[in-house]
Amino acid sequence: MDAPSAIDNEPQPFDFRQGGILSDRQARVLRQRHEGVARALGDRLTLWLRSDFALRLARVEAVSYAGFIASLPATTHLTLFKLEPLRGVCILETPPPLAIAVVERLLGGPARRLGEMREVTEVETALFDQWAQVFLEEWQQHFTEQPTLKAQLLGHESAPCFLQSASPDTMMIEVVFEAAFADGKVPVQLAFPYPTLEPLLQQLAPAEEFVAPASVTTPSARPVAWNSALDEMKLAVSAHWTGLELTARELAALQIGDVVQLSPQVAAQVQVRLAGRVKFSGRLGTCGGQWAVELSGAAPAK
């Protein structure tokens, strides 16, 4: 038995965010959906190319953008696309030998073997985009939760080291397929920024609500953990106060420039609403030359 090399014994870096960005339920649903994508795409591409084309899902995992780029070959074929109306740039990575063999088949060739390892030319890229469109259209059909999704091709890149479609620490959902065509098997990858898929993931596998056990009698016995998926969600915040009453006739007579007098006590009885619900009480004031509300307490429970 060969002795382990020094490299095998060196500690390897690990990004602890990778394991927690997807819940078990979300990861399971994504795997199931992409297994369906693989089966349907294999059948569709076989008919479209009039040649056997098999696709098998290898894995679905979360990686950092920097880690994803570092894992790619120095030369490959990257198709950049957007999923309108979602934000963010997604990536379809296809090894050049597969892309060249597909182009040969589209031109009427036998494509009995995979192509050579080189950059895909501009003419080949234009033809191969047809294959990419078929690939992405089939993907869209398996995510009917957002029927308006439409893949829009943005461009191409052959050297991953020069691609900067996201910040290095952006988490990506990487979907790796094994494609069997001509006489070989090669990986084909989809990479989506997590913020792009987050709205879709919330529909596919919404966060499970916390249900307290029957034996728990006080609501504070087991606090609900904060769901980090809500970090970037925006809520409308508004301030309201009561204490002024006008008749319908007085209200109808109001014009631009009229002054409505408020009681001084109103400024100390402001209701702060989050998404339309009263959550806090506060006092009206100013801060930095702008109107502001100082929170004085939680709103009474109803």
Helix (H) or strand (E) segment spanning residue 209: none
C-alpha triplet 202, 151, 170: angle, nearest 5°: 55
Give the tokens for residue 97: 């030998």
Instruction: Calculate the alpha carbon distances from 59 to 38, 101, 143, 155 in Å.
Output: 12, 24, 18, 26
Q: Give the global pTM.
A: 0.63
Which CATH code is given to the segment(s) 14-204?
Answer: 3.40.1550.10
Question: Which one, of 193, 123, 125, 132, lies nearest residue 163 by Cα?
Answer: 193
- CA–CA dist 269, 283 (Å, integer): 6
Domain residues of the chain, as ranges? Answer: 14-204, 237-249+265-302
Tens digit of each residue's pLDDT, the chain (302 residues): 444 444 445 554 444 444 458 888 889 999 999 999 999 999 999 999 999 999 999 999 999 999 999 999 999 999 999 999 999 999 999 999 999 999 999 999 988 889 889 999 999 999 999 999 999 999 999 998 888 889 999 999 999 999 999 999 999 999 999 999 988 999 999 999 999 998 888 888 775 543 444 444 444 545 567 777 667 777 788 887 776 777 878 777 887 877 777 666 666 677 888 777 788 887 777 675 677 777 777 776 65
| Closest C-alpha to 270, from 243, 244, 294, 241 | 241
